[in-house]
Structure 1
């Protein structure tokens, strides 16, 4: 199919829009955002006017990444980091700890040098600066300006700005690291979060312009991060997974304790920052850490090669003195294994990857789109041929990235997600909001609780809910729990919800997905490292049975499902180490038909695929959205986006990193 034949990427005239919305053309798709300040109090349909909070408009995207260590971004967030650098927009990477480890900058097979934590911290900084400079300019020696800035927590931080691209910044908070992946280290982010130490001391890099040490309390650490957010006003925040769960074999944390508790400090800072007036709205993306190495590889060979090249620059692979610093030009510990433990071959979102966040409403052509901005549910609305309006932010903070939605038989829409409680004991729970009537207002958030006993048992590690709806409109919610099995809660006839109960499965990863075919048969799918499992419900209703083996090969875990228009359903997934989109058909049982490629050419990206009526939208290797219509070739747009696309018969949507809804009608 020629490029001009697919309407989502054609440029068109700027159409007139209602006062509450401005419709523009961005990267070939319709970008929907709030309009003038005079329209800021106009609520979207279905949202009470008293609750119609409009996010502050911004003129462009600004990304802030928060990591515990130098290299967390390169191992676990790339290629997303490199794509943000290539976009030309603002990117700020914030490192909580100095990453000083044992102070020995050497591979294990090298002679053991004298321990010097300040020098090793400096060498890691040099490696990060070289890696970012190379990604931005092609030259690892492109100069940086290093300055000392005051923090809101009462200490000082180092701010580095790339001279050739001053919108690229590095912020070094230089707190002491744990020095152990899971060991008992009270003087750490973990110990500070749990109150085992009153203050956590700094560890300054040898060449840092910050010369005087300091120590932060838990609250001062949150204040410091909040101050960084206020300085750089992000529209999109990347961070590690605050609930990585436990290793099934050892019972210990599946990720580095600094990753987990650094992410929790970031969560707390974002919750505080969300209360600040006058800033742009922001979305959040969580990344899986160490455990991604034990799952099928995600990236295609070309993307892996580029990621590994950046890691080798950071690792000071050639060991030449190109930086002129006696501390060293990079992290020689990483030079022993620059791909990590399978980390260079993958990137995975811990949550926020749902492809079911756009939903049909009750009216003809009526659509709703849902996302999470400022930790609250953001709602856009489209009434038939009218333009999109919104977003408006629903009351209720603490929502985690990513929501899913379902349409009930009477036309009402229900939204599901998870919410984190930071005020008391750390706890994540499943929540839902349902329209009071078709086309009406969304009700208050209702908690369905959690299948987890407490945070300590499995770090509150639950996935995004998948939901089946029966013909009576009763819903059943499926959640991947911290034991990597399925848990289920069913709605009762009186509208209440039953307790969480086990539904089987083993070694489940990612988020389950649910779909109902034209005959009313229900399917729930969940990935494992080796295959996909299925749970099925007969058309006449009754209990869901399973899990049963689908017969599918390994996937990259991110799944989506949709009716196929021929009485069955299709499950969509990515081929490991390629990113190519594939599908399998199901018709009445949990056994899959033959696996087929989705469209010619492939897109070599990652994440869930949005599908509707044989039309597809997915993340391409460039980070932009790609679309395929009726089996035609993939056509790629421009601009980065959060999470996964969502598709309905009228078109597909993405959420830009600037917080705008991008809508693309399908070709008719």
Structure 2
């Protein structure tokens, strides 16, 4: 999965999306802070490939993108909108292929949603560049746009800044490429290339101030780094594990902080927090919870009361574990529980 698979909906209920065979399933709180529903299929009975990208707009609506088989050796991208976690999502709607003549899957998509609620879907193309397709304001989709690039690796990171404009990060063999919308509705343009050693599949982007987004990635030496375009990357601390981090902005003891979470090498969840965009303040990992399966993913969100909630989901077992921050100073967490 790519993007925010653990979300707080418009109505305050938390929900998760998970892949299951040729379908996408959703579970959600029956009421904020209450018991959870059983998993149910999203988007109808259409058969999908085991890939999913999720993005969320300021309106709280979730936008889901996947690949579906269309004929032998051919696939197309499909999109669904989920307005409320506990309600049915719209049926999967085809949005085409970056190549006009079609083809098979070319990469894992990424999706971000602008201030007007329009989904922007990014995917690596067969030539190693990036294509984008965006929703029209009054329905339907714009034509595909070639954003170019070369030797782009899978695992794009799309993010919406506080301005409502969309940015995209992509790893290449010798660094990271960055695209940004200069104004709402405009085609994203490539702004700069950061020359840095980066492990593919470790990119995660977060809006961290009114003017900036921060990209977190692991370098080839195993350090977790933070980068804001226009500046230099900063080494935060050694990565706790091999996979990508999850991050969320939250208030801790009256301070605007960025909280990071990652499945550690020991199999538990590791947390680290620091004042947003003040990487020089330092950060350190604290582990929590039980040992998790190797394929378990970690995600962070805030609930209706703006308390941090962490979730882990294992595709092999289907087990969903949750913990919430206690109502006390610091980052004390409740006991992990299986939902």
1:608 counterpart (222, 230, 244): 244
1:247-286 correspondence runs (5 A): none
| Structure with a larger share of its residues in strand | 2
Structure 2 residue 31 is the aligned partner of structure 1 residue 373:
no
Unmatched tracts of structure 2, length 5 or more: 250-257, 275-282, 303-307, 326-330, 333-339
Count of matched residue positions in the alignment of Structure 1 and Structure 2: 300
Residue 419 of structure 1: how far off its partner (Å): 2.3
RMSD of aligned residue pairs (Cα, Å):
2.4
Question: CA distance change for structure 1 residues 389 and 627 in 2, over 3 Å: closer, same or farther?
Answer: farther
| Equivalent in the alignment of 1:597 | 235
Cα 1:367/1:611, change in 2 over 3 Å: same
1:410 counterpart = 2:59: yes
Structure number with larger C-alpha Rg: 1
- Pairing partner for 1:654 from 312, 324, 328: 312
Counterpart of 1:554 in structure 2 is 197
Counterpart pick for 1:451 among 92, 98, 103: 98
Q: In structure 2, what is the equivalent of residue 94 of structure 1? A: none
Using a 3 Å threshold, how does the CA distance of structure 1 residues 532 and 406 change in structure 2: closer, same or farther?
same
Q: CA deviation at 1:624?
A: 4.4
Matched, 1:570 2:222: no
TM-score, length-normalised on structure 2? 0.80
Q: Indicate the SS of the match to 1:473.
A: coil
Partner residue, 2:284: 632
Is residue 535 from structure 1 mapped to residue 179 from structure 2 by the alignment? yes
For residues 511 and 377 of structure 1, the distance between their equivalents in structure 2, rounded to whole angstroms, comes to 19
Tell me the residue number matched to 1:357: 5
Counterparts of residues 139-158 of structure 1 (less than 5 Å): none
Question: In the TM superposition, what is the alpha-carbon distance from 1:471 to its structure 2 partner?
Answer: 2.2
CA gap 1:567/1:652 in 2 versus in 1, 3 angstroms = farther
Deviates more, 1:483-492 or 1:658-667: 658-667
Q: Map residues 68-147 of structure 1 onto 2, 5 A cutoff.
A: none
Q: CA deviation at 1:553?
A: 0.7
Q: Which whole-Å CA distance do the structure 2 matches of 1:566 and 1:641 have between them?
A: 36
Match of 2:141 among 493, 497, 501: 497
Assess if the C-alpha contact under 8 Å between 2:3 and 2:110 holds in 1: no
User: Is the Cα contact below 8 Å between 1:641 and 1:654 reproduced in 2?
Assistant: no
1:594/1:634 CA distance change after superposition, 3 Å? farther
The aligned counterpart of 2:277 is none
For the residue of structure 2 that corresponds to 1:390, the secondary structure is coil
Displacement of 1:391 after TM fit? 1.7
Hey, what's the Cα distance between the residues in 1 that align with 2:266 and 2:97? 37
Does the CA-based 8 Å contact 1:355-1:610 persist in structure 2? no
> Once the 2 structures are TM-superposed, how far is the Cα of residue 654 of structure 1 from its aligned partner?
2.1
Deviates more, 1:516-525 or 1:609-618: 516-525
Q: How does 1:171-570 map to 2 (within 5 A)?
A: 352=1, 354-364=2-12, 366-382=13-29, 383-394=31-42, 395-421=44-70, 424-435=71-82, 440-452=87-99, 453-455=101-103, 460-538=104-182, 540-558=183-201, 559-565=203-209, 567-570=211-214
Provide closer, same or farther for how the CA distance between residues 474 and 414 of structure 1 changes in structure 2, counting only shifts above 3 A. Answer: same
1:412, CA displacement in angstroms?
A: 2.2
Question: Aligned runs of 1:43-58 on 2, under 5 Å?
Answer: none
Match of 1:664 among 305, 316, 323: 323
Residues 643/446 of structure 1: CA separation in 2 closer, same or farther (3 Å cut): farther
Cα pair 1:550 1:592 within 8 Å, conserved: no
**CA-to-aligned-CA distance 1:119-144 (integer Å, 9 cap, x gap):** xxxxxxxxxxxxxxxxxxxxxxxxxx
Q: Residue 564 of structure 1 aligns to a residue in which SS?
A: strand
- For residues 411 and 368 of structure 1, do their structure 2 counterparts lie closer, same or farther at Cα, with a shift above 3 Å needed? same
Per-residue CA deviations over 1:313-372 (Å, capped at 9, x if unaligned) read: xxxxxxxxxxxxxxxxxxxxxxxxxxxxxxxxxxxxxxx4x24211220123x2221011
Measure, in 2, the Cα distance between the counterparts of 1:472 and 1:448: 19
- Offset of residue 443 of structure 1: 0.7
TM-fit CA distance, 1:466:
1.9
The 2-side partners of 1:386 and 1:465 are apart by 32
Cα pair 1:355 1:609 within 8 Å, conserved: no
Assess, with a 3 A threshold, how the Cα gap between structure 1 residues 584 and 645 changes in structure 2: closer, same or farther.
same
Asked if residue 645 in structure 1 is aligned to residue 298 in structure 2, the reply is yes
Q: Does the 8 A contact of 1:485 with 1:505 survive in 2? A: yes
The match for 1:228 is: none
Deviations 1:162-208 (A, max 9, x none): xxxxxxxxxxxxxxxxxxxxxxxxxxxxxxxxxxxxxxxxxxxxxxx
619 and 482 in structure 1: CA distance in 2 versus 1, 3 angstrom threshold: farther
Contact 2:122 2:132 (C-alpha < 8 Å) held by counterparts: yes
Q: Using CA pairs under 8 Å that are at least 6 residues apart, name the structure with larger relative contact order, 1 or 2.
A: 1
What are the Cα deviations for residues 40-89 of structure 1, in whole angstroms up to 9, with x where unaligned? xxxxxxxxxxxxxxxxxxxxxxxxxxxxxxxxxxxxxxxxxxxxxxxxxx
Report the secondary structure of 1:629's partner residue.
strand
Summarize the Cα distance change of 1:511–1:473 in structure 2 as closer, same or farther, 3 Å threshold. Answer: same
Shift of 1:381: 0.6
